[in-house]
Amino acid sequence: MLSILRRLAWPLLASLLMAGSALAQDALPDTWFKLKIKGSGYAARDDGSAPHKVGGTFKAYVHVYPDIEGTATDDGGPSLPSDSYHIDVWCQTGPDQWERTYWTTESLERSDGLVYFLADLHCSFRTENGMDLESYMTAMIRVKRDKAHAVKAATFTTLGAEIFDGTTPDGEVLRGGLRASGKEVRPDQLPFQLP
């Protein structure tokens, strides 16, 4: 009986090790994205005047990197396998001035090691002219891998996003939506120094 258990244990252990190795290979490494963000919606004052259309584009950088401590929580709904990741948003807030406008820890859902999802991601953006945008988005990250399974390229795209709380440079209330898309950049391509 013991020899039968030993014969069954080795293949089981080997398959568990291979599965763990595959999950590690599917992990998204520390990645920076340069995003073009296009927002549009309506701005209004609290004086009863009619809302008017507003819109614009700006750049932001998003840093997605593994959370070693695994602090992201699951909301209990249906989901894909996920790992805990930190997300930092960097915006240009003045001439040659960049700042981290938002940071969080979220679950990065993985499907096949080439596509990842950030569902219900809260982000804060601030523009150089003084516009503040609070948004929720669902984003998709796609990667291309080389033969060694290392990431050789990655893109970031919103599947849907809303500006649920925003203000214009004139202090008007802003409501609307946004789209963000971009690709991976190396840390030495960032227009700012990291702290």
pLDDT of residue 110: 87
Within a domain: residue 76? yes
| Confidence band, pLDDT 50/70/90 cuts, at residue 73 | low
Within a domain: residue 195? no
Total domains in the fold of the chain: 1
Is the separation of the CB atoms in 168 and 174 below 8 Å? Answer: yes
Within a domain: residue 135? yes
Within a domain: residue 8? no
pLDDT digits (tens, 9 = 90+) for 138-177: 999 999 999 998 899 999 999 999 999 999 999 999 999 9
Q: Which token pair is 84?
A: 């805990």
Is the Cα dihedral 188, 29, 148, 138 positive or negative? negative
- Residue 82: how many CA atoms within 13 Å on its side-chain side? 23
Residue range(s) defining the domain that contains residue 106: 29-189
Within a domain: residue 12? no
| Confidence band, pLDDT 50/70/90 cuts, at residue 82 | confident
Within a domain: residue 11? no
Report the share of the chain in percent with pLDDT over 90: 67
Whole-angstrom Cα distance, residue 116 to residue 62? 15
pLDDT digits (tens, 9 = 90+) for 4-18: 544 544 443 333 333
Whole-angstrom Cα distance, residue 24 to residue 47? 56
Within a domain: residue 103? yes
Q: What is the mean pLDDT of residues 177-193?
A: 96
Within a domain: residue 129? yes
Whether pLDDT at 1 is above 70: no
